[in-house]
Chain A
Amino acid sequence: MAPAQRRPELCGPTPLCPPVPVLLESPATDLACAHCGDACPAEPLRLAELPFCCAGCRTVYELLSASQLCTYYALGEQPGLKIKAVELPGRFDYLASEAVQAQLLSFRSAERGRLTLHVPQMHCTSCIWLLEHLPRLHAGVVEARVQFLRKEITITYLLADISLPEVVQLLASVGYEPQITLAELGAQPHRASHTLYYQLGLAAFAFGNVMLLALPEYFSFVEELQAGFGRFFGYLSLALALPVLLYSARGFFRSAGQGLRQRHINLDFPISLGLASLFSVSTFEVLTGRGPGYFDSFTGLVFFMLIGKWVQQRTYDALRFDRDYTAYFPVAVTRLTPAGEQSISVQELAVGHRIRVRHQEVIPADAVLLRGAGQIDYSFVSGESTPVARAAGDLVYAGGRQLGGALELEVVRGVSQGYLTQLWNNPAFTKDAAGPTLETYANHAGRYFVALTLLLAAGTLAYWGPRDQATMWRAFTSVLVIACPCALSLATPFALGAALRVLGRHKLYLKNAAVVETLARTDTLVFDKTGTLTDPTQSAVQYHGRPLLLVEKQLIATAAAQSTHPLSQRLARELATEALPLATCQEYPGRGLHATAASGQALRLGSAVFVGTPAGPPAQPADRLSLRASERLPLLSARVPVPGNLLLLSAQTATSPALQSATTTGRPASAGGPVLAPETSVYVALDGEPAGHFTFCNVYRPALPAVLAALGKRYRLAVLSGDTDAERLRLRALLGPAAELRFGQSPADKLAYVAAERALGHTVVMVGDGLNDAGALRAADAGIALTDTLTNFSPACDAILEAGELGRLATFLGFSRACLRAVLATFALSLCYNAVGLTLAVQGHFTPIASAILMPLSSLSVMVMATLLVRWAARHYHL
């Protein structure tokens, strides 16, 4: 069965959010890049008449067309992936190390090696095709096999022709850079469990054959046959049913036993009771020669219930819901030794080692900054939106991502002893690991079911006892048999399994079906701010100043592209034009850059002071304010000495009160146009003349106002932010007066808040994205982690939501409520069957033939009804 929920749609990069309107005068053309499908700039790069948006895309296209691999573009709609701008030579050198290879390679002989890599970027048919055609790109690759659902590729290569770093480089060069992290190194490639398949196969085999043997029993014209072979058929059925009891049904008995040990009756208890009595009654009948028994019903029940289990178990292998910090940390780090640079595995890193951390690399351990301008992005671990500046001598915590130039650090604490990893190992973060037994409706119903059944069975004994001994025993065992809530146990997996697939189609991936139930019962929603409510991939760039000529824009873009500073990179991407030859280009860390075009035009780009911009043009208040803020805090790689508290590090945020006053003066929150968060600016001077400045703002996700308004009507809302309270008014307007807003929250604070809400009896759903939310995600009844394709990482959680779909959260929650109603309706149906069965049973009329009709009828109709009701609900919610 092809799991529909993971079917890659016709691809073509769906931007996570509609592009933010940008006030630049070079509108993007409507030409789509032949590789990635993004809009091309006004002057696209061209190759053989095809337009490309950037040099990276053109390079990939050249590579593929040279190897006759252009079918790639024919299979899907614009499957190409944009190549990240910054690539450092020697990035994969650490893979050459023997220790790393020993951990990564699953097989190795004298001439060939094999390994499995995780490639999260693969998303469509074209991806599979290209990745499996790797041997055409390099003769050293012998075979490449894709496991699409897990997003894994298994590569066999010849050690003599290609090295491991080259293999990974090859993947990266076509846009599929594998994700190799600390977690990947530690774990073995996971092996799917086959037990359920074996159990299912055995049950199906026994069911089919026992039914065949039982058939003569149901037709009177073969009585003669039955008379002669009845005993033989009975013994054969017993022989076939025995392995089903011992092997296939083992899971139900084990689960019931576990529940009993925890003094808790779950749904598997009445099931086990029913199965056990069914089997023993049948065995007794066969051995004493009274009749054929109920073996067909018994094997059928086990078979149907295993199908229910299978439906429930099929979840998302590809997505890992249990990641911890090790998945985020790098595998290797550049160590500086007297002999020179050396790439070592992070596990080998020890206190006192000197390491080098380059642009975009994650700091692996708490360390002291020795050299370089630290510009560290902690948004993922602390929730702060702006990078933190650190100067030589400062302590730098692990987990931050360096932006800008390379740093030299001295490790002061081992990887597992770091401030953040310590926090991670805090028992509070793992307390839910064992988890209380989930109080699902099915288990709840199961308990009443048991009580009712035992009561009825006792009543039957009492009624028939004085009247008819033989009927008494038959009625008693029949009640126990019919008590098996098979249909009841099928309702939940089928309804919620169908819901799981519907939600998966819309990019909300749940860990298991029980999460649907939790979502449906929730009454409190808690959000993180940075990266959850704001969009980390978007920042609006606005230009204020005199109009720029095309040549000038080209100059700015080319010069900005030379710098690794995040703002320069963002600017270069925004302007994306044909490169202009530069005569000189020099960067002054912490201040800006100075470049001269071949034509002689001089450019200064950077902080106001560096560029020499006087007091800003008094055009708009917003301009003036951001200008003043920028003067106070030099923009590029500012060296601001900061106290050692992670949460007090915000250095460059310049709030624009103009925006907040705009909100308070009645502009509705849902008004068109991007919702802007605090901003930063970059100034431009051409030939010594100040020309203007670019402002960069964080952007709230576009769908946010609408979804928050919808959610606010039904749920209690809260925002927990690791950031400063600069956004308080803005968020208040978005969330309404009743919402709880907390700022400057540490990961432990968030955890405590969620735990306190739960203690008050609320069902809490936490929506977050970073490591800083991980504790709260775990503590909540259901934790939803938001992922952008950018980060590709999600902390441990119960559900993963693709960030662009946040706007449909209200729909998803409504749908899960509808699914729960569908489960309850199906419960009602299955209880009807049980009532009919019990009526027959207490009267002593429950014969094998009645069982053989009632049992499959109830099971099948419950399966069909559960699935149909959920489909109907999905249509109702337009999912």
Chain B
Amino acid sequence: MTIIFLLIGLSLLVALTFLAAFLWAVRSGQYDDAYTPSVRMLFDDEAPTAPAAPVRRR
């Protein structure tokens, strides 16, 4: 059962990697603006078009 020591050590190592990744993400400002990127990723680079027809006012 001494293998448990090794396994726990490894699992802690993995968890620490995730913690480090999280700290890096915070540090690099990824949590500063949680909204704009969610909109930005939806923009297409399609060919721009003009609005088709005059819009009726509601």
The chain A residues found within 8 Å of chain B, CB to CB, are 1-3, 6-7, 30-32, 34, 37, 39, 48-51, 65, 68-71, 73-75, 78, 125, 128-129, 132, 146-150, 192, 194, 197-198, 201-202, 205, 208-209, 212-213, 225, 228-229, 232, 236
CB distance from B55 to the nearest CB of A (A): 5
CB distance from B4 to the nearest CB of A (A): 6
Asked if B38 and A2 make an inter-chain contact with CB atoms under 8 angstroms apart, the answer reads yes
Across-interface contacts of B49 in A (CB, < 8 A): 70-71, 74
Partner of A198, one of B26, B32, B50: B26
Q: Is B12 positioned at the interface, with any CB of A under 8 Å from its CB?
A: yes
Could you pull out 12 A-B pairs where Cβ atoms are within 8 angstroms? Answer: A2-B38, A31-B54, A71-B46, A129-B43, A147-B32, A147-B33, A148-B35, A197-B26, A197-B31, A205-B15, A209-B11, A229-B1
Q: Report the separation of the CA atoms of residues A78 and B58 in the bound assembly, to the nearest whole angstrom.
A: 12
Residue of B nearest to A132 (CB): B40
Given the interface pairs A32-B56, A71-B49, the reply to whether A128 lies near B39 with Cβ below 8 Å is yes
Partner of A51, one of B11, B23, B54: B54
Given the interface pairs A32-B56, A34-B51, A197-B26, the reply to whether A149 lies near B36 with Cβ below 8 Å is yes
Given the interface pairs A70-B48, A194-B27, A232-B5, the reply to whether A128 lies near B36 with Cβ below 8 Å is yes
Across-interface contacts of A73 in B (CB, < 8 A): 50-51
Q: Report the separation of the CA atoms of residues A30 and B55 in the bound assembly, to the nearest whole angstrom.
A: 9
Asked if B15 and A31 make an inter-chain contact with CB atoms under 8 angstroms apart, the answer reads no
Asked if A146 and B5 make an inter-chain contact with CB atoms under 8 angstroms apart, the answer reads no
Q: Is B10 positioned at the interface, with any CB of A under 8 Å from its CB?
A: no
Q: Report the separation of the CA atoms of residues A128 and B16 in the bound assembly, to the nearest whole angstrom.
A: 37
Q: Is B6 positioned at the interface, with any CB of A under 8 Å from its CB?
A: no
Asked if A201 and B36 make an inter-chain contact with CB atoms under 8 angstroms apart, the answer reads no
Asked if A236 and B8 make an inter-chain contact with CB atoms under 8 angstroms apart, the answer reads yes
Asked if B39 and A148 make an inter-chain contact with CB atoms under 8 angstroms apart, the answer reads yes
Across-interface contacts of B11 in A (CB, < 8 A): 209, 212
Q: Report the separation of the CA atoms of residues A236 and B12 in the bound assembly, to the nearest whole angstrom.
A: 10
CB distance from B42 to the nearest CB of A (A): 8
Residue of A nearest to B22 (CB): A201
Partner of A194, one of B8, B31, B35, B43: B31
Q: Report the separation of the CA atoms of residues A68 and B47 in the bound assembly, to the nearest whole angstrom.
A: 8
Asked if B33 and A148 make an inter-chain contact with CB atoms under 8 angstroms apart, the answer reads yes
Asked if B36 and A146 make an inter-chain contact with CB atoms under 8 angstroms apart, the answer reads yes
Partner of B55, one of A78, A192, A236: A78
Asked if A128 and B34 make an inter-chain contact with CB atoms under 8 angstroms apart, the answer reads no
Q: Report the separation of the CA atoms of residues A194 and B24 in the bound assembly, to the nearest whole angstrom.
A: 11
Q: Report the separation of the CA atoms of residues A129 and B44 in the bound assembly, to the nearest whole angstrom.
A: 10
Q: Report the separation of the CA atoms of residues A78 and B54 in the bound assembly, to the nearest whole angstrom.
A: 11
Residue of A nearest to B46 (CB): A71
CB distance from A845 to the nearest CB of B (A): 31
CB distance from A193 to the nearest CB of B (A): 10
Given the interface pairs A31-B57, A201-B26, A202-B19, the reply to whether A1 lies near B39 with Cβ below 8 Å is no
Across-interface contacts of A212 in B (CB, < 8 A): 11
Given the interface pairs A2-B38, A128-B39, the reply to whether A32 lies near B23 with Cβ below 8 Å is no
Which of A34, A198, A201, A213 has the most chain B CB atoms inside 10 A of its CB?
A: A201
Partner of B23, one of A7, A49, A148, A201: A201
Asked if A37 and B33 make an inter-chain contact with CB atoms under 8 angstroms apart, the answer reads no
Residue of A nearest to B55 (CB): A32
CB distance from A669 to the nearest CB of B (A): 30
The chain B residues found within 8 Å of chain A, CB to CB, are 1, 4-5, 8, 11-12, 15-16, 18-19, 22-23, 26-27, 29, 31-36, 38-40, 42-44, 46-51, 53-57
Residue of B nearest to A7 (CB): B35
Across-interface contacts of A48 in B (CB, < 8 A): 50
CB distance from A450 to the nearest CB of B (A): 34
Partner of A65, one of B4, B31, B39, B50: B50
CB distance from B28 to the nearest CB of A (A): 10
Asked if A3 and B51 make an inter-chain contact with CB atoms under 8 angstroms apart, the answer reads no
Partner of B36, one of A39, A49, A78, A147: A147
Across-interface contacts of A129 in B (CB, < 8 A): 43
Across-interface contacts of A132 in B (CB, < 8 A): 40, 43
Known: A50-B54, A146-B36, A148-B36. 9 other contacts (CB 8 A): A30-B57, A73-B50, A73-B51, A128-B36, A149-B33, A149-B36, A192-B31, A194-B31, A205-B19
Q: Report the separation of the CA atoms of residues A232 and B9 in the bound assembly, to the nearest whole angstrom.
A: 12
Residue of B nearest to A48 (CB): B50
Asked if A30 and B32 make an inter-chain contact with CB atoms under 8 angstroms apart, the answer reads no
Across-interface contacts of A1 in B (CB, < 8 A): 34
Across-interface contacts of A192 in B (CB, < 8 A): 29, 31-32
Asked if B57 and A37 make an inter-chain contact with CB atoms under 8 angstroms apart, the answer reads yes
Across-interface contacts of A75 in B (CB, < 8 A): 43
CB distance from B35 to the nearest CB of A (A): 5
CB distance from B1 to the nearest CB of A (A): 6
Asked if B19 and A201 make an inter-chain contact with CB atoms under 8 angstroms apart, the answer reads yes
Residue of A nearest to B9 (CB): A236
CB distance from A106 to the nearest CB of B (A): 14
CB distance from B53 to the nearest CB of A (A): 8
Asked if A71 and B54 make an inter-chain contact with CB atoms under 8 angstroms apart, the answer reads no
Q: Report the separation of the CA atoms of residues A236 and B5 in the bound assembly, to the nearest whole angstrom.
A: 11
Asked if B56 and A194 make an inter-chain contact with CB atoms under 8 angstroms apart, the answer reads no
Q: Report the separation of the CA atoms of residues A599 and B54 in the bound assembly, to the nearest whole angstrom.
A: 33
Asked if B51 and A50 make an inter-chain contact with CB atoms under 8 angstroms apart, the answer reads yes
Residue of B nearest to A192 (CB): B32
Across-interface contacts of B1 in A (CB, < 8 A): 225, 228-229
Asked if A3 and B31 make an inter-chain contact with CB atoms under 8 angstroms apart, the answer reads no
Across-interface contacts of A69 in B (CB, < 8 A): 48
Q: Report the separation of the CA atoms of residues A229 and B46 in the bound assembly, to the nearest whole angstrom.
A: 61
Across-interface contacts of B35 in A (CB, < 8 A): 2-3, 6-7, 148-149
Across-interface contacts of B57 in A (CB, < 8 A): 30-32, 37, 39
Across-interface contacts of B4 in A (CB, < 8 A): 225, 229
Q: Report the separation of the CA atoms of residues A7 and B35 in the bound assembly, to the nearest whole angstrom.
A: 8
Asked if B54 and A70 make an inter-chain contact with CB atoms under 8 angstroms apart, the answer reads no
Partner of B15, one of A50, A208, A228: A208
Q: Report the separation of the CA atoms of residues A125 and B36 in the bound assembly, to the nearest whole angstrom.
A: 9
Q: Report the separation of the CA atoms of residues A565 and B9 in the bound assembly, to the nearest whole angstrom.
A: 78
Q: Report the separation of the CA atoms of residues A132 and B41 in the bound assembly, to the nearest whole angstrom.
A: 12
Q: Report the separation of the CA atoms of residues A74 and B34 in the bound assembly, to the nearest whole angstrom.
A: 24
Given the interface pairs A34-B55, A65-B50, A201-B22, the reply to whether A209 lies near B36 with Cβ below 8 Å is no
Across-interface contacts of B36 in A (CB, < 8 A): 128, 146-149
Q: Report the separation of the CA atoms of residues A304 and B32 in the bound assembly, to the nearest whole angstrom.
A: 22
Q: Report the separation of the CA atoms of residues A132 and B40 in the bound assembly, to the nearest whole angstrom.
A: 9
Across-interface contacts of B51 in A (CB, < 8 A): 34, 50, 70, 73-74
Residue of B nearest to A44 (CB): B54
CB distance from B3 to the nearest CB of A (A): 12
CB distance from A858 to the nearest CB of B (A): 26
Which 8 pairs across A and B sit closest by C-beta, in order of nearness? A32-B57, A148-B36, A197-B26, A205-B19, A68-B48, A70-B48, A201-B22, A32-B55
Across-interface contacts of A202 in B (CB, < 8 A): 19
Q: Report the separation of the CA atoms of residues A32 and B51 in the bound assembly, to the nearest whole angstrom.
A: 12
Across-interface contacts of B26 in A (CB, < 8 A): 194, 197-198, 201
Across-interface contacts of A236 in B (CB, < 8 A): 8
Q: Report the separation of the CA atoms of residues A30 and B57 in the bound assembly, to the nearest whole angstrom.
A: 5
CB distance from A67 to the nearest CB of B (A): 9
Across-interface contacts of B38 in A (CB, < 8 A): 2
Asked if B15 and A2 make an inter-chain contact with CB atoms under 8 angstroms apart, the answer reads no
Q: Report the separation of the CA atoms of residues A362 and B15 in the bound assembly, to the nearest whole angstrom.
A: 58
Residue of B nearest to A8 (CB): B39
Q: Report the separation of the CA atoms of residues A129 and B31 in the bound assembly, to the nearest whole angstrom.
A: 21
Residue of A nearest to B57 (CB): A32
Residue of B nearest to A136 (CB): B48
Q: Report the separation of the CA atoms of residues A229 and B23 in the bound assembly, to the nearest whole angstrom.
A: 31
Asked if A32 and B48 make an inter-chain contact with CB atoms under 8 angstroms apart, the answer reads no
Across-interface contacts of A68 in B (CB, < 8 A): 47-48
